[in-house]
Every structure is written in structure tokens, then in C-alpha cells.
Structure 1
Amino acid sequence: MTNSNNTIQYVYAKNGTAIPEDLCTVSICSLDYAQVEYLPTLAGNLIYLIIFAALFIAQCFLGIRHKTWGFFVGMFCGIVLEVLGYAGRVMLHGDPFDFNSFLLYLIPLTIGPAFLSAAIYLCLGRIIMAYGSDSSRFQPKTYMFIFCGCDFFSLLLQSVGGAIAATANDKAGSDMGANIMVAGLAFQVFSLLVFIGLAGDYALRVHRAPKSNCQKFSGLRASRYFKWFKWSLAVATFAILIRSIFRVIELQSGFGGSVANNEALFMIFEGPFVIIACFFLTICHPGLVFKNLWAESNWSLRGRRSGKESIDSEEGIVLSSYEQPK
């Protein structure tokens, strides 16, 4: 990785002459002087870009139609960053020496999955509301505050690290930025592992508990789509976890490390796993699963109505949305 600063830096061209670094092209300079030590594949990165663009359109349609605003914001930001990141990689194919294209690839693809994780965290609270919080160790809002707070801290570290790397004028500064980004990614991995543990614990407690007395969402719980939704969240969570572990390994040796400059590993463990997560969060979109119960399952709406009026109203929505088991 080369850095952008106000001092003219000279490198050796393939013919042995020293030229300003800004004049480097693939035909003149070795890729050893490029931002990444390979020429990013055009076809592969373009395919990922098109897939994320299609998922973005689908998420916009479903999110606006079903008014799943919190989930929509997380997915919107995450997928937009994926689109920008792969646009940066496509640009790097044309000019692998361009520092701005490198930043456009590095920062969005590093922080994008943090927003996707936030969307997943929001869904756990809805599931707890659907089953009732009796089997939960914490209230739905507690899960949201803890894990979204962890996600924000992880995102902050990754963003700060990216900013330091972008403005560094030497290798020491670049390595510092990379180390801070690694710390943010490692904290994201830790948060995902804790989330998986607590979500698994809740699933086990629900399985062992007596039949839920929460009748408001009985039709939702009985629907096959709701079961698919829970599995889709599990698949998406593990996909993001695997991708995040890879990024920690990739960046721990700095931008010049062997893993950071191995395109094959990147194309296997970055794009596909994030695509898997987004795909399952789209085909089992919570708006399709909860239908018009998404707002009713929000913990913040509890207490808006009280007594029998609230129960009758919510049961009426359930009965109109799902066929009750006989």
C-alpha cells in the first residue's frame, strides 16, 4: 500500500528508471508499488457489485413496503457500503496505483457488515416479543442496547482506523490505522460470539419452557415462514462471523501482509459470505414474515395501549394475518 501526501515520491519503473509514483501505470511500474499487490479481477468484482445492487433494490422495496424502518436502515447502509466497496475494486482494476480507489474499496467493505449485524440484532428483540420475555434472561430492549452499542463501538474503531490509514504519511501511521481497524473487527467478532451464545441460550430456554401463554403472536409462531426466518438469521449471523474472522486475519499483518494481498482468499471469504447473509435476510425479510405485526412486536410499543383493548386489537391483527392452527 502506498500513501497520499504532499511530497513527491519516486519509484523504479520496470526499465530501471526512477519516476514519480503518481505516474505509475500497469505497463510502467511493477504491482509491488500498487495499493494491492495484484490486479483485482474485473469480472469477479463486477459480479459482486451487480449482486449487491440487486439485493439493495430488493431491500428498498421490501423495507419501504412493510415499513420495517430499523431493519431497513441497517440493511440500506450495509449494502450501499458493499456496492461502493466493489465499485472501488472495479476502479482499482483500471488503476491499481490509485489511492482514492483503494480507500473506496477498503473502508466501505470493512465497516459495511457492522450495519448488517445491527439489523440482525434488532430482529432478536422481535422474536423475544413473539414468544414472550418470560424465557429470556434480559428484556428485548436490553439486547438491543447492548449489541447495537457494541456494534457502534466496533464501527467507531474501524472508521477511526480507516481514517488514520487514509491520512498516514508513513508505514508506521499506516500500520497504526490497520491495527485499530483490526481491533474494531476483533471486537465485532467478540460481539457476534456473545450474541450467538445468548441467542442460542434463549432458543434452548424457549424449547424447554412450557407452551407460551402469549396468544397475541400464536399465529406468527405457528407459521412455517417464521421458522425459516429464525434459521435465516442464524445463517446470516454465522456468515458475517466467518467473514469478520477472515478480515481480522487479513489485516493483522498490515496492508502489506500476504493474506491482505491474496485476492483468491478475499474473493472467497469476503464477498460470498456477505452475499449469503444479505440473501437470507432478503428472502426471509422480516416484513414478509411478520406482515403487519412488525410494529406490534416492537418492545417500544408496549404500554401504548393497555388492558383488554390492547389484547383484543393485537389478537385481531394476528387472526387476520395468519391462519390459526386447528
Structure 2
Amino acid sequence: MPSYSLFFTILIPIALALGVKYKSPGFATVIATGLTLEAVGYIGRLLLRNNQNNPFYFAVFLTGTTLGPTCICGAMFSIVPRIVAIYGEEYRSWRPIWYLLLLSALTIASLALELAGSVVSTTQEAPTVVEAGIRLLVVGLAIQLVALAIFALHATLFTITLRTRQHKLDPKFAPVYTSTLFKISLAAFIVATALILLRTIFRTIQIVEGFQSSIAQAETHFLLLDGVVMLITSVLFLACFPARALGEYWPDTSVRRPSPKPLQLTHQTPGQLPVTRPSPTYSAIGMKSPMSTYSPGKAGYWASPSLVENDVLW
């Protein structure tokens, strides 16, 4: 038990240092806030073992271990628009600004309800008030599940679009989308998403069953499906730090309103053949031939810009 709070505490300065080094203080601060809440929550659980009837320790434990993962989820939601920007706005399934606003609103609502529910259910004695606090907490966790579902759906649609639509990748970001580090970061990101989703489902079931239920009292289940899962998720985020994978292009991938003008391609010179590639690769030829248009999912196909118009996208 003490090791959990110790491990989360060790990760806090690492997250902040990475934020400074890779010029992403906002993202790193949100991650560090989640790690801090996790560390405080496990300290509360440790104190609760020797003082089981202390409502303050229980409130600290419940609040920290509930709000910490929600903060980390909020940081995770901000990454997909940057990944979309790397491959190009033509591959988006939803305008990034609306996607980010929706998930931010859901995350804030989830945090507020989880905080209120945790405090009310642990500091009040009247059964009806405690029950109301538990319902608030369940609603907060349910909203977090909805946000995760939207996030997973958006990421899935983007993956499908990336493999089916035919568009030119921006050669400006070629050093990113062709790098091994970026691909490893994407794989780590997928694993972290699955782990957070698993943890949130478990925690929702646990709270619905009640604090005195067998699943709530099963310490081993909690430590594995909450503590270990969030620890692995946090390590994955820091080991494959998104701002490190994007490098100097991190500021260039911030969410902006897309230009209403469609992409204008320059005319080919007579006799010049379009360059095709089987995957999003980069070379000097691609820089010299702006007419080359290809898809990460299909090789040898050149698409006219009239095939897909920006205005028909969501």
C-alpha cells in the first residue's frame, strides 16, 4: 500500500520536468495534478487501515483515487486533435474544436459531480444524504464513461478514415509520422486508453454496489484494477510522452479552426507523373511534387482533390 503513494509521488516531478523540457507545461500540469490526487488518495487509504471509522481519511481516499484518473483522462483527451493535425485535417471525423470543447465540458462535469459525491457520501451521517452523495458519484463516473466512449469512437473513426480516404499528407510533419517514437507512442496511447476504460468500468460497478459490498471491500481487486492499472497508465504516458514524440511540432498541432478554403494543389508540369507511396513516407521527391496524393491504407492510388471536399466533413 505505501508503495502506491510512493510511486505516484515519484512520477509527479518527472511529469513536470518533461513538461518543461518539451514545452508542454499545460499538459504536464494536468498529468501531475492527477498523479498528486492519486498519491494523496492512497495515503488516505493507508491511514484508513488503522482508523477505519475516520470519515476524513475515507473522504481523502475516495476523492483522491476518484478524481486523479479523471484528470489524467482530461489530459488524454487533448492528444487526439494533435494526432489528427499531424496527419491532416482531411482525415478528421469531427472538427477538433467541437470535439475538444465537448470532452472538456464532460470532464469538468465529471470532476464536479465526483468531488461533490465523494465529500457528501463520506462526511454526512444521514442515510438519505449519504445515498444522494453516492448517486452523485455514480453519475460523475457515468459521465466519465460517456466521455471515454466518445473519445474511443472518435479515435476509431479517425483510424478508419486514415486507412480509407485518399489525401496528401503534409510533408512538414513527415519527421513525426514516419518516426519510430511516434508509432510507439500511438501504441502506448491505445493501451493506456483501454486501461483507463477498464478502471472506470470497475470503479463504477464498485460504487453502484455500495461501500459495504463485497466488491468494495475486496482490497486485492481494487489494488489491481485501480492502483496497478492507473500506475501502468501513468508510466506509459510519461515513458512515451506525447510532446516528446511530436518534438518541435507540438505548438503547431494545437487546435485551430480549419480554414474554409479547400486545399489548393499546384498544377503538374506536362509529362510529370504523380508520385505514389504505399505508406505515409517522406522523401525529397515528395517535397518537389505537391501533386502527390496518397493514403496510409492504400498504395499506388492518386486522388483528385475533387473526390473529397472539406465542407462535407462534420
Shift in CA distance, 286/301, structure 1 to aligned 2, threshold 3 Å:
farther
| Structure 2 segments unaligned to the other structure (5+ residues) | 260-280, 285-314
Give yes or no for contact 2:15–2:29 (8 Å, CA) kept in 1.
no
1:262-309 CA-to-partner distances (Å, cap 9, x unmatched) read 111111111011112111101100122111211111124989xxxxxx
How much has 1:210 moved relative to structure 2? 2.5
1:58 alignment partner in structure 2: 14
CA shift, 1:324, in A, is: 5.8
Say whether 1:181 aligns with 2:127. Answer: no
What corresponds to 1:212 in structure 2? Answer: 168
Q: Pick closer, same or farther for the CA change 1:302–1:295 going to 2, 3 Å.
A: farther
The equivalent residue for 1:246 is: 202
Q: Which residue of 2 aligns with 1:89?
A: 45
Q: Which residue of 2 aligns with 1:76?
A: 32
Residue of structure 1 aligned with 2:116, choices 139, 143, 160: 160
Contact 1:129 1:297 in 2 (8 A): yes
Partner of 1:138: 94
Read off the aligned partner of 1:229 and give its amino acid letter. S
Cα distance in 2 between the residues matched to 1:162 and 1:110: 8
In the aligned structure 2, how far is the partner of 1:222 from the partner of 1:325?
A: 11
**What's 2:250 paired with?**
294
Residues matched between the structures, number: 263
CA contact (8 A) 2:141 2:200 kept: yes
In 2, the alpha carbon distance for the partners of 1:257 and 1:165 equals 15
Partners of 1:289 and 1:191 in 2: how far apart?
25
Q: Deviations over 1:188-233 (max 9, x none)?
A: 1121012101111101101222253312211111111111111111
Distance in 2 between the 1:92 and 1:165 partners?
16
Contact 2:90–2:167 (CA<8 Å) still a contact in 1?
no
The alignment's C-alpha RMSD in Å is 1.9
| Superimposed CA distance per residue, residues 136-195 of structure 1 (whole angstroms, 9 cap, x where no aligned partner) | 122222221111111111111111211221342222211221121011111211210121
Residues 1-326 of structure 1: pairs in structure 2 closer than 5 A: 45-300=1-256, 325=283
Identity value in percent: 26
Distance 2:45 2:116 in 1: 21
Structure 2 letter corresponding to 1:77:
T
Supply the AA of the counterpart residue of 1:147: L
Tell whether the 8 Å contact from 2:93 to 2:161 is kept in structure 1 after alignment: no
Structure 1 runs not aligned, ≥5 long? 1-44, 304-322
| Aligned residue in 2 for 1:28 | none
Q: Cα gap change, 1:190/1:301 in structure 2, threshold over 3 Å: closer, same or farther?
A: closer
Contact 1:121 1:143 in 2 (8 A): no
CA distance in 2, matches of 1:221, 1:87: 41
**Would you say the 8 A contact 1:59–1:282 is kept in 2?**
yes
Q: 1:178 to 1:108 in 2, by over 3 A?
A: same
* AA partner of residue 175 (structure 2): G
Indicate if the aligned counterparts of 2:171 and 2:282 stay in contact, CA closer than 8 A.
no
Amino acid at match of 2:92: S
